[in-house]
Amino acid sequence: MRKILAGIVIGLCVLCTVGMVNAAIVDMDDVDGVGYFKDITTGYVWMDVDNFLEMSLNEVKADLIGTDFHVADRDEMDTLFNSIGTVGSSITLTQNFNELFNYIGGHTFPDNKYKYISGSTNEKQINSENYRKVIMDSDSPTISFSFSDPDFKMYYHGAWVVNTSSVPIPGAIWLLGTGLIGLVGLRRKQ
């Protein structure tokens, strides 16, 4: 019985590890028209950037009042971009750009020449209120950084919004755990 339980636990660990290696960013189901994605590395849940197109940073902050989400700060952005790929003057992605574009929520310019994932972050700098991070697909995916007014709005520009509160353990894990405990209890009774 112990060998069976050990085999089940090892198998689950291997499956979880394989799932994490394949993709750091996974798409989540939309809820009432609002898109979400998850960073598997940190467990953080993010709102799709394009949920906030044509909204200023101040409007986004007002929209988030009363929720568990907030506009990401620079450290949170760094963890997200480290999950997405290796950051330098350009970014080496661990996932296909188009896949990330669909998961995270980007915008295609009308001429279809460039795809952007562009959003405001909650980072104050000297002479600037609003810090922006953009992933752009030109010849190779690049990240650009810029600053703008907190009332800045643009049709392709959204916001980086995250929920960093503790992530609940999925119900399937609880079910499996109680089942295993029950098996052990039955075995001991015999």
Which residues span the domain enclosing 178? 2-189
Whether residue 154 contacts residue 107, with contact meaning beta carbons closer than 8 Å, is answered with no
Exposure letters 153-183 (e unless 16+ CB within 10 A, then b): eeebbbbbbbbbeeeeeeeeeeeeeeeeeee
Cα–Cα separations (whole angstroms), residue 147 to 18, 76, 78, 164, 165: 39, 17, 17, 24, 28
Task: Give CA–CA dist 33/98, Å, rounded.
Answer: 21
pLDDT at site 87:
61
Tens place of pLDDT per residue across the chain (190 aa): 566 655 565 655 544 444 444 568 899 999 999 999 999 989 999 999 999 988 988 999 999 999 999 999 888 888 888 888 766 555 677 777 788 888 988 887 766 667 778 888 887 655 556 677 777 775 566 666 677 778 878 777 888 899 988 555 555 565 667 766 776 676 676 6
pLDDT at site 43:
92
The pTM assigned to this predicted structure is 0.69
Give me the number of domains the chain comprises.
Answer: 1
The single-letter code of the amino acid at 115 is: K
What the block records as the tokens of 120 is 């405001």
Whether residue 109 contacts residue 101, with contact meaning beta carbons closer than 8 Å, is answered with no
């609880």: which residue's tokens?
Answer: 174
| ∠ CA 13-17-21, rounded to 5° | 175
